[in-house]
Amino acid sequence: MLLLKCITMTMKFLDCPPRFLFFTGKGGVGKTSIACSSAIDLTAAGRRVLLVSTDPASNVGQVFGISIGSQITPILTVPGLFALEIDPQDAAAQYRERIVGPVRGLLPQSVLSTIEEQLSGACTTEIAAFDEFTSLLTDQALYADYDHIVFDTAPTGHTIRMLQLPGAWSGFLEEAKGDASCLGPLAGLAKQRSKYKEAVEALCDPMRTRMILVSRAQQTALREVARTFGELMAIGIPQQYLVINGLLASSESSADALAAAITSREQAAMSGMPELLKALPTDRIPLKAFNMVGLEALRHLLSETDAQYPASVNKPVILNAPALSLLVDDIAADGHGLVMFMGKGGVGKTTLAAALAIELAHRGLPVHLSTSDPAAHLIETVTDTLENLLVSRIDPQVETERYRREVLDSKGAQLDGEGRALLEEDLRSPCTEEIAVFQAFSRIIGEADRKFVVMDTAPTGHTLLLLDATGAYHREFTRQAGRNALYNVTPMMQMQDRKQTKVLIVTLAETTPVLEAATLQEDLRRASIEPWAWIINNSVAAAVTSSPLLRERAMNELAEIDAVAQQHASRYAVVPLLKEEPVGDRALRSLIYANDGG
């Protein structure tokens, strides 16, 4: 067993903390672990703390080893700490009942059915989660009960959307006069304008709110953080701190090629960090040998650790696992189809999707590689141009404008001046973006009957919201665009077709990512979507290293890899952690054949 001696480190982001602390960043950078560890540190200083997850795929409960859910729950092992997970579906159910309940029995069933139909879509789910989020910023009772509220947020793109919503909805409600597409959901929002205004004021007040940008020492993650910094400044959130998580100690790189390559990449990324980030108060957290699960691990995260490794780290780690090339051969044999990469943020979905697309294109097969992840970096990853490969990104702003033009040109052409004005007002609703993204998603996956469509999806929670609402999106789209927009095969039907679609679940060989991947698999199965295979990415156990810290992590991986092979996956592959960052044609294709014949 790994023995640890800790010395508490002083973190700048916990110096004189305000009431609200938000942890945000690209998926997989350690936001949840740092948020949980920070909450524990604050309680150790005698504060009462509420830890809130706004991630639809929250794993706060898994980290503490307990069930939390949508009610405030005391963490009994940490006096003074309470936790809450905002469940979008539960929030939507409660939101619908607040609107429909008072009129049930008073209105005709046909009218109630119309209202419930309006409240059945993903727009309502988003509004309901946002409504609960703003309540946490404005509830005076919570001010009295807790000294701090710590927010563990969804990956960046979804979080920025959440933070923008108070202002977006406030503005829309002030201007809205007509028959908005979100009439049902807005019935609950319109009564609470003052609350949303107060939430905006709280977010923009540096005496009440601090934003902690969490990143890894990786170029893509740091670029994402720089973009987030600008977007937060644009919506008036000035107080921001930077945390670089998981830095490998330079002492591990002596006489070890893999560790030396990792530290070299990290140092280069830090040196090339955008200047605007260098000006921020910054903390650095070293990579740990243990998984961030359980109270003891969380208490060590923000501490310097003097690790004493067991003698077993000197023994070679033996792993016999299938290579990714075997899965690719089976996929290529179909000639066309939809391949969707899904999983927790930060597990490498974008990289693996790009690697598969490039390999299929090199085999002479037509491929459309696309992403529905707002924070994806496909352009930076795929640097080569191939004749058979089309690369695209579903950009919410571009798709929203495209959708507005299409609706105005079709449905709007038949309206008089007043009717067109009402339609334009309708299309200014924040829900329009969600409809437009779904339309683009549907259009792209519809190409899979004649080519390969490789889809890099957003992190788990946001993707599930999209998939869960395909029927509602489809109904709303056809309502706006007319009956000519009806599909013979809906996107959900296409994803349920095992001959047409292969869902690949990507994970890391760590406790929390594997648990979340297993939960994702169950959610997909409830929607009659059967995952085709699992990919365990960036495995140290599949690599070659003599670094004591990396070897300890490799040994910890073996149990998780075995759990995937024996309990979760009908087929799987393991991709080792490589010395070279997988960017560009050659490096991406090397991922396919790494661990080949292992």
- Weakest mean pLDDT among 98-102, 415-419, 437-441: 98-102
Strands (E), 325-397: 337-342, 367-371, 389-391
For residues 454-468, one letter each, b for 16 or more C-beta atoms within 10 angstroms of the residue's C-beta and e for the rest, the string is bbbbbbbbbbbbbbb
Across 178-182, 274-278, 530-534, 553-557, the highest mean pLDDT is recorded for: 530-534
**Could you give the percent of the chain with pLDDT greater than 70?**
77
C-alpha to C-alpha distance for 290 and 18, rounded to whole angstroms: 30
| 231/235 Cα distance (integer angstroms) | 7
Say whether pLDDT at 185 is over 50: no
Where on the phi/psi map is residue 310: left (φ > 0), alpha (ψ -120 to 50), or beta?
A: beta
Overall average pLDDT of the 229-256 stretch: 87
Residue 10 has pLDDT above 50, yes or no: yes
Closest by CA position to 283, among listed 321, 247, 256: 247
358/590 Cα distance (integer angstroms):
11
The answer to whether residue 284 scores a pLDDT higher than 90 is yes
Rounded Cα–Cα distance for residues 305 and 321 (Å) = 32
Quick one: DSSP state of residue 192?
A: G
Single out the residue of 511, 507, 513 nearest to residue 531, CA to CA: 507
Q: What is the mean pLDDT of residues 229-247?
A: 88
What pLDDT is attached to residue 228? Answer: 85
- Minimum mean pLDDT range among 223-237, 253-267, 540-554, 563-577: 223-237
Domains and CATH numbers, the chain: 3-308 (3.40.50.300), 324-593 (3.40.50.300)
* Residue 526 banded pLDDT, cuts 50, 70, 90: confident
Q: Which of 398, 350, 354 is nearest to 373 (CA)?
A: 350
Tokens representing 137 are 């910023």
* Partners of 507 in beta bridges: 536
pLDDT, tens digit, 9 for 90 and up, residues 106-150 = 777 776 776 666 666 555 666 666 677 778 888 888 888 999 999
Higher pLDDT, 40 or 180: 40
Smallest CA-to-CA distance from 72 within 88, 64, 83, 57 is with 83
Q: 319 pLDDT exceeds 70?
A: yes
CA angle 408, 411, 416 (to 5 degrees): 85
The average pLDDT across 173-185 equals: 44
Rounded-to-10 torsion of CA 394, 365, 325, 526: 50
Backbone phi and psi for residue 411, each to the nearest 5 degrees, phi listed first: -65, -35
Q: Which residue has the higher pLDDT, 310 or 224?
A: 224
Q: Is 574 exposed, middle or buried (0-12, 13-18, 19+ CB in 10 A)?
A: buried
69 compared with 241, residue with greater pLDDT: 241
Beta-bridged to residue 506, according to DSSP, are 535
CB atoms within 10 A of CB 55: 27
84 pLDDT higher than 60? yes
Q: Is 53 exposed, middle or buried (0-12, 13-18, 19+ CB in 10 A)?
A: buried
pLDDT confidence band for 329 (50 / 70 / 90)? very high
pLDDT at residue number 463: 57
Query: Taking a C-beta distance cutoff of 8 angstroms, is the pair 394, 440 a contact?
Result: yes
Q: Which parts of 119-155 fold into alpha helices (H)? A: 122-138, 140-145
Residue 183: per-residue pLDDT: 41
Q: Which residue has the tokens 């949840």?
A: 32
Of 528 and 95, the one with more pLDDT: 528
Strand 81-85 vs strand 282-286: parallel, antiparallel, or unpaired?
unpaired
Average pLDDT, stretch 495-503? 88
Which position has the higher pLDDT, 295 or 574?
574
Residue whose pair of structure tokens reads 């959307």 in the numeric block: 161
Annotated catalytic residues are 28, 30-33, 55, 512
User: What angle, 0 to 180 degrees and rounded to 10, lies between the N-to-C axes of helices 396-410 and 470-481?
Assistant: 40
What integer best gives the mean pLDDT of the chain? Answer: 80
Residue 24's pLDDT band (boundaries 50, 70, 90)? Answer: confident
pLDDT at 33 > cutoff 50: yes
Q: Which two tokens stand for residue 83?
A: 């936790």
pLDDT above 90 for 313: no
Q: Quick one: pLDDT at residue 368?
A: 95
